Amino acid sequence: MDFTLTETQQSIVDSAAKLLTKHAGPKRARQVLATSGYDPELASALREAGFLSLMKETGALEAAMVTEAISARAGLVHFGAAAMVAPALGMEIDEPVALSRQRGPVRYGASAKTLLILDGADVRVRRVDSGEARPMRSNFGFPFAELPADGGERLSGAGAKMRAWWRVVLAVEIAGALRGCLTFTTDYVKERRQFGRAIGSFQAIQHRLADCVVLTEASRWLAYEAAFQGAPDDGAEVAISYAAAAARRVFHEVHQMNGAIGFTREHDLHVWSMRLQALALEMGGA
């Protein structure tokens, strides 16, 4: 048990941070959301930097750290699907990858070349041909589409593994978005003044933001722990259950604290907050 980064981990975190400063961030997220919602430039920068093979070459925990960092910078790529779920199933497949439960909207569905379909105890791997995806309008921070869920190559018995890794990826992404919301809101309540003082000096705000710290921190550590342990069913269930509950709670707290300006698209909060709900719901909220 050790919470301190090793030298290798530190250098991965540092180089991811450097890449994300250049290729991601709230401004970029707003631009991308206004168009396709998927950021191919960020995706290729991550690929060229070798981050997609982290899981195989270094470990799942390190891949999780990068996934968290991308989400915390509001990056719009499905890194966790390509860099964690697919390798966990022993596959090297064409990016971008999207994940499907057979029903419900598919995140990044319209830009995916490969679809991993969770089909009970099995997984099916299906190519997505152009024109198959039907984009669906949503305000929840990601692009969604409806995709056919038939056919594909069947991986018998891989369902449990895919479910568990998918849960871990979602938990890690939520943890990153929570961090984005918390950092942004903390800065805001320090600056915003009403009644002659920063609103962050009111206990009514402080206590709720302290609860958000608990939710954010615990979400991240539980998700990292589950990744480190190889996504055991139990650990993955705990990680996503906690993170999803945290997402729902923190969303409302940070919006309340940001007040009216928090609803405007020119204020950055929404690039992190709206995606929280989508992530919490992706596997049925469990």
Partner 1 sequence: MSVSLFVGSAEEEEFRADVIRFISEYRGLNGFHFQGSKWPEVKALYRAIGQCGWMSIGWSDAAGGLGRSAVREFILWDEMAYARVARPPLGAGIVAKTLIAHGTEAQKQKWLPPIRAGEKFFSLGYSEPGAGSDLAGLSTRADLHGDHYVVTGEKCWTSYAQDSDYLWTLVRTGAVEDRGRGLSLMILDLHAPGVSVRPLPTIDGEQLNQVVLDAVEVPVEHRIGPENAAWRLVKDALDVERHVQFPPARLRRDLEELVAWLRKHEHELDPVVQRTVAALGVGVFEVEALALLVLESVVKGRPGDVEAAQNKLAHAELSQKIARAPFELGLSEALIYGPIEFLYRQSTWETIGGGTSEIMRSVVARQGLGLGGRS
Partner 2 sequence: MEFGWSENERSYRNQLREFLAAELPGNWNEMSKDGPGSDAQAAFSQAFCGKLAARGWLTPHWPKEYGGHDAPAWQHAILSEEMWAHGEPRGPQYMNVNWLGPTLMRYGSDEQKRFHLARISRGDVLWCQGFSEPNAGSDLASLSTRAERVGDSYAVNGQKVWTSYCKNAEFCFLLVRTDKIETRHKGITVLLVPMNTPGIEVREIDTVLGDRYFHEVFFTDVRVPVSARLGAENDGWGIAMYALQYERIGLPRYARSARTLELIVADAKSNGRVIDGAFKEKLVAARAMCEAARILYYRVIDQRAHNQPPTADSNVARLALTAADRAVGDLALELGGPAALLYGSLGDGNFRAAMPAGVATGTSEINANLVAQRWLGLPREA
- In the complex, the residues that contact partner 2 under the rule CB under 8 A are 1-6, 9, 61, 186, 189-190, 197-198, 200-203, 205-207, 209-211, 213-214, 217-219, 221-222, 224-225, 228-229, 237-239, 241-242, 245, 286
Q: Is 286 in the site for partner 1 (CB under 8 A)?
A: yes
Q: Is 186 in the site for partner 1 (CB under 8 A)?
A: no
Q: Is 31 in the site for partner 1 (CB under 8 A)?
A: no
- Alpha-carbon distance 57 to 36, whole Å? 32
Nearer Cβ to partner 2, position 108 or 188?
188
- Binding residues for partner 1, total number by CB under 8 A: 36
Part in contact with partner 1 (CB under 8 A); list of ranges 38-46, 52-60, 135-143, 210-218:
135-143
Q: Is 150 in the site for partner 1 (CB under 8 A)?
A: no
Part in contact with partner 1 (CB under 8 A); list of ranges 11-19, 37-45, 220-228, 273-281:
273-281
- Alpha-carbon distance 115 to 98, whole Å? 5
Q: Is 26 in the site for partner 1 (CB under 8 A)?
A: no
Q: What are phi and psi of 112, to 5 degrees?
A: -75, 140
Burial class for 214, CB neighbours closer than 10 Å (0-12, 13-18, 19+): exposed
Give min distance, CB of 262 to partner 1, in A: 8
Q: Is 193 in the site for partner 1 (CB under 8 A)?
A: yes
Residue of 219, 221, 208 whose CA lies nearest to 258: 208
Q: Are 64 and 36 in contact (CB under 8 A)?
A: no
Pairing of strands 134-136, 122-127: unpaired
Residue of 281, 209, 205 whose CA lies nearest to 243: 281
- Alpha-carbon distance 190 to 4, whole Å? 29
The residues binding partner 1 (CB under 8 A) are: 104-105, 136-140, 144, 193-196, 204, 244, 248, 252, 255-256, 259-266, 270, 274, 277-278, 280-282, 284-286
